[in-house]
Structures are given as C-alpha cells and as structure tokens.
C-alpha cells in the first residue's frame, strides 16, 4: 500500500492541485486537506505544504500559517520523524514555524525567506536547483544522485534566504543547505541566483533531515507537456523533469 500524503490547504494556497497530481503520478496516495479538517492529519504518513499566498502573506510570508492549528499536527509529526516537505509558500511556513533550519525554538524563526533582491519585486523565472548536500543528509533526497540538477520554476516575491551572520554560520556548519541555485549546465555562481538568496540557497533541511523546505516549484516543470523541447518519451502526460524530485520523495516513503 502506498504512503498517504496530505497536501495542506491554507486560506490562499493555490498550488495544491498540481502538487497532489504529481504525488499521485509517482505512486503516492495523496490528497488535499482543507484547513478546517486539521484533526484528520493524524491519519497521514507525510505532509506537503504547497505554494500560494496563505493569508495573503500578511506580516511576512508564512508567518500567520505557521501558527495555524494544522501546523500543530505537522510540528508534532515532524518531531516523531515523519517526512515534511514545503514548497515556496510552504517553505516560508516551515521557516516561520522554526522547523527549518531548526536551530532555534519552535515558532521562533532564526531565518526567513524574505523580499527578493535587488528589486523587491515578484519573480517568475525558470531555474535549476542543484543538490548541495550529501543525498543521505535529508531523507527526501536520499534516493537522488550526488549533484542532481532539478528543473523548476521560481515564482515568489519573498524567496531570498536572510538571517544574521551568526545564524548563517549555523546553517552552513550544520549542513542545512540542501539545494542551491545553478545554471542549466550545473555550474553554480551568483548569476544563477534569481533573488539574492544568502548562501545561494534554494532549499534547507532540518537537523534530523526529515523536513525539507525548497523555494522553487519542481511540480510546475514535472510533466512532458511542461517542457516539450526536452520531453522524456512520446507521452505528453508522462512525469519528467521536476518529477525526479517527487520520485525521490516517494521512494523515501516506501
């Protein structure tokens, strides 16, 4: 029996449908869970917090959702070792909840994804993210090859990792950087970073490696019809590209 995965829907979430679809297409038993059904989260094996603009990103992106009753269940489950994945707005929520990088108290964030630099404007751009840690550092990436390159879409106004110098050092020394921005050939430099993110960070994991927050959307480049110029096979509906990331997620739950 495939793992049951809850895709959380907060007021303002807008990427739950494609997130559920790619999870199902890689073999997971995924379904969306409305914020009014928080108690039902106990039944699930893993959790995905998808993209959107939960609570209109008031105060800071993810700040209100981090205190939602749904997050009580996610925080408890993460503490017991269940896998938690946050994408874009979901990643912002995980940082605001203190689950990632997890170097401080819960709901007392030590880092945040904040306004893009240098313009502060919303970005919608095709990007690549490169696995920067040893694959085994995070359970969700354990089945990926070293230096795996994942195509994705950056679509955010607040995607720049920011923290104090002290906490950035904690992130680095603790091996919390899971993904960095890269060019399509795999090279990594500041020019590949679309938002000024500190440490070229595109994704962070917690100390235990069971919670992962990534800013770009691999689910928006996850089927052949998303990228006909680099389709894998003739089936336009077949998972490919960013689906590599979700296949690793599925294997981690087997």
Active site residues: 88, 217, 219
CA nearest to 91, candidates 203, 221, 180: 203
232: left (phi over 0), alpha (psi -120 to 50) or beta: beta
Residue with tokens 């981690």: 252
H or E segment at 235?
none
SS3 at position 111:
coil
How far apart, in whole angstroms, are the C-alpha atoms of residue 144 and residue 72?
30
Backbone angles phi, psi at 212, to 5 degrees: -135, 130
How far apart, in whole angstroms, are the C-alpha atoms of residue 19 and residue 13?
11
Beta carbons of 46 and 2 less than 8 angstroms apart: no
Instruction: Please give the full DSSP string across 185-224, using - where no structure is assigned.
Output: TS---GGG-SS--GGGEEEEE-SSS-EEEESSBGGGG-BG
């Amino acid at each position: 029996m495939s793992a049951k995965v809850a895709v959380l829907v907060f007021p303002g979430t807008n990427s739950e449908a494609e997130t559920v679809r790619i999870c199902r297409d890689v073999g997971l038993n995924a379904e969306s869970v409305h914020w009014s059904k928080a108690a039902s989260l106990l039944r699930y094996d893993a959790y995905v917090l998808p993209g959107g603009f939960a609570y209109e990103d008031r105060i800071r992106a993810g700040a209100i959702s981090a205190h939602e009753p749904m997050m009580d269940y996610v925080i408890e489950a993460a503490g017991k070792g269940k896998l938690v994945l946050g994408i874009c707005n979901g990643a912002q929520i995980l940082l605001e909840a203190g689950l990632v990088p997890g170097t401080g108290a819960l709901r007392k964030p030590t880092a945040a994804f904040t306004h893009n630099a240098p313009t502060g404007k919303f970005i919608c751009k095709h990007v690549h993210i490169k696995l920067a840690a040893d694959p085994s550092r995070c359970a969700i990436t354990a089945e990926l090859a070293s230096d795996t390159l994942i195509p994705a879409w950056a679509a955010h106004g607040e995607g720049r990792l920011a923290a104090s110098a002290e906490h950035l050092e904690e992130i680095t020394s603790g091996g919390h950087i899971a993904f960095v921005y890269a060019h399509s050939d795999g090279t990594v430099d500041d020019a590949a970073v679309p938002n000024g993110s500190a440490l070229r960070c595109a994704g962070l994991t917690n100390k235990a490696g069971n919670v992962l927050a990534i800013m770009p959307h691999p689910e928006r480049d996850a089927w052949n019809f998303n990228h006909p110029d680099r389709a894998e096979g003739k089936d336009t509906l077949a998972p490919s590209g960013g689906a590599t990331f979700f296949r690793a997620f599925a294997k981690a739950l087997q």
